Amino acid sequence: MIKLITGKKGTGKTKILVEQIKAATENAENHIVCIEKSMQLTTEIPHKVRLIDADEYMIDNLDKFYGLIAGALASNYDLTHIYVDGIFKIGGRDYEKFGDILAKIEKISENCNIVFTVSADLEELPESVKKFAD
């Protein structure tokens, strides 16, 4: 299942994401990954969460990002949650391409909850992206 937390910069998306991560860690059986750019959440999320710096793996476009997600899912079949903070900082601001990538991720992630923060108002996004918003 894919969900989006949308809104302009400074609207509290990351705070909501961190709260969701903390809630997910309360269940000891969850296996959680958080992907971000530049390791800014290191002190805010529980140590149980595997934190991945997209810069460290040279993820600079949405196709590479898809590869990272596919690899994470393939390497750990127990993965229950993936949280992505700042997808447009990681992969670029191509709304149509993002919709395409979400469709591909949806096909391979049926047993994993994936949450993205998206720095854009919902009205700006194409239908291929909006369908994943709450």
Q: 84 lies in which domain range? A: 2-130
What is the Cα–Cα distance from 55 to 103, expressed in whole angstroms?
Answer: 24
> What does each of the 134 residues of the chain score in pLDDT, given as a tens digit?
999 999 999 899 999 999 999 999 999 899 999 999 988 888 899 999 999 999 999 999 999 999 999 999 999 889 999 999 999 999 999 999 999 999 999 999 999 999 999 999 999 999 999 999 86
What is the DSSP-derived secondary structure letter of residue 80? -
The pTM for the full model equals 0.94
| Distant-in-sequence, close-in-space partners of 132: CB < 8 Å, separation ≥ 6 | 2, 3, 4, 102, 106, 116
Query: How many domains does the structure of the chain reveal?
Result: 1
Three-state DSSP class for 116?
A: strand
CATH number at 104 reads 3.40.50.300
What is the Cα–Cα distance from 11 to 14, expressed in whole angstroms?
Answer: 9
